[in-house]
Amino acid sequence: MEYEQITYAVADRIATVTLNRPEVLNAWTPVMMQEILQALDEADRDDAVRVVIFTGAGRAYCAGADLAAGGFRNPDDPEGNKPFRDSAGQVTMRLFNMQKPVIGAINGNAVGVGITMTMAMDIRIASETARKIGFVFDRRGVVPEGCCTYFLPRILGVSKTAELILTGRLFDAREGLDLGLFSRVTSPEDLIPTATGIAREIADNTSAVSTALARQMIWKMLCERHPMNTHIIESKAFGYMLASPDTEEGVKSFLEKRPPDFAMKPSRNMPDFYPWWEDVPYINE
C-alpha cells in the first residue's frame, strides 16, 4: 500500500510506522490520521507482524496539528456540516483494540496530538532530544483530545494529569520519565535500537496469541468495575491456552533449554470468547 504522509515497513516481524512530514516537524493532518489507521489495520491483519513501532522522520516526533493543512478539521466532514469528531481519538481507539503490541519511540518534540496519539501505545520511550512535550490544548483555546482524559489519569494519576493538562506547560523527556509517561529515555542514537530490542524480546520469546490476549486484558480490565470480572476472563484465557499447542511448546522449549517455536496465529487461533467486550459505537448528535 502506498502512503503519502507516513512510511510503513516490515522487517523481521517488526512493523515500523514513521510519521513522514519532516519539513513541518511531522505536523498532523486528516490524511496522516487516515494513513495511520490503514497501517494499523495492515499490521493487525498480518500474522508476520508481531510488534509495531511508531517514530518520526527528522528532528521531531510530531509538532501537533498542522493548522494550515486542516489539522483541526473534522476528517469525516471537511466542510463542517456534521458534529466534530476528534481525529487523534480515532487513532487511540484503534490502538485500544490492536492485537499487536505497539511501542512509541518518541524521537523529538511531541506536542498536542503528537503526544496524545501515543496514549494507547503499550510502551513509550523517548530520546533526550524530546525537549518540548505538552498537552497544550487549554493554551490554544480548545480542550484535550486523543482520549487523553481517559488514558493519562490511568498512566500518571489524577493530580499529575491535572497539572499537565490544566497548565498546558511544556516539559522534556527526562521529566516525562520521572512522571511515568515514558519507561525509558535514551540518547538519540540508541532510541530505535532500544525500541527494536524491546520488540525483539516480544517477537522472539512469546506466543502471538498469548500476547494478543494479554494486551487486551491489560487495556480492557481498566474498564472493569470489579476484579471478579478480571478473574473470570483470565481464567477463560488461561484455560484456553493451557490446552493449546503453544503452551505445550512453551513448556517443552523451557525444559529443553531452547528458543520456543510457537505456531498459533491471531488470525485463526483466537478463542471463541474473544472479543469478550462490546465496542461502544461513536454517536455525536
Span 207-218, pLDDT tens digits = 999 999 999 999
User: For the segment 160-187, what is each residue's pLDDT rounded down to a tens digit?
Assistant: 999 999 999 999 999 999 999 999 999 9
User: For the segment 116-131, what is each residue's pLDDT rounded down to a tens digit?
Assistant: 999 999 999 999 999 9
Range 260-271 average pLDDT: 97
What percent of the chain is predicted at pLDDT more than 90?
92
Is the pLDDT at 81 greater than 90? The verdict is no
In this structure, which amino acid lies at residue 254? F
Residue 257: band (very low, low, confident or very high) from pLDDT cuts 50, 70, 90? very high
* pLDDT score for 42: 98
Residue 26: band (very low, low, confident or very high) from pLDDT cuts 50, 70, 90? very high
Higher pLDDT, 28 or 1: 28
User: For the segment 215-235, what is each residue's pLDDT rounded down to a tens digit?
Assistant: 999 999 998 999 999 999 999
- CB distance 140 to 165 below 8 Å: no
Higher pLDDT, 29 or 75: 29
What are the structural domains of the chain? 6-202 (3.90.226.10), 207-285 (1.10.12.10)
* pLDDT score for 75: 62
Higher pLDDT, 79 or 242: 242
Is the pLDDT at 205 greater than 70? The verdict is yes
Is the pLDDT at 68 greater than 80? The verdict is no
Strand order in the sheet with 109-111: 60-62, 109-111, 133-134
Helix count (H) and strand count (E) of the chain? 10, 9
Global pTM reads 0.94
Poorest-confidence range of 51-60, 128-137, 154-163, 275-284? 275-284
Separation CA 223–CA 32 (nearest Å): 29
Long-range contacts for 272-281 (Cβ within 8 Å, ≥24 apart)?
273/236, 273/240, 274/213, 274/216, 275/97, 275/216, 276/220, 276/233, 276/236, 277/220, 277/223, 279/97
Residue 71: band (very low, low, confident or very high) from pLDDT cuts 50, 70, 90? low
Higher pLDDT, 215 or 84: 215
Residue 73: band (very low, low, confident or very high) from pLDDT cuts 50, 70, 90? low
Range 132-155 average pLDDT: 96
- CB distance 106 to 61 below 8 Å: yes
C-alpha torsion 89→107→40→280, nearest 10? -20
Cβ within 8 Å of residue 67, ≥6 positions away: none
Is the pLDDT at 78 greater than 70? The verdict is no
* pLDDT score for 9: 97
* pLDDT score for 112: 97
* pLDDT score for 67: 80
Range 37-50 average pLDDT: 98
Range 105-113 average pLDDT: 98
Give me 143's grid cell: 480542550
Is the pLDDT at 285 greater than 90? The verdict is no
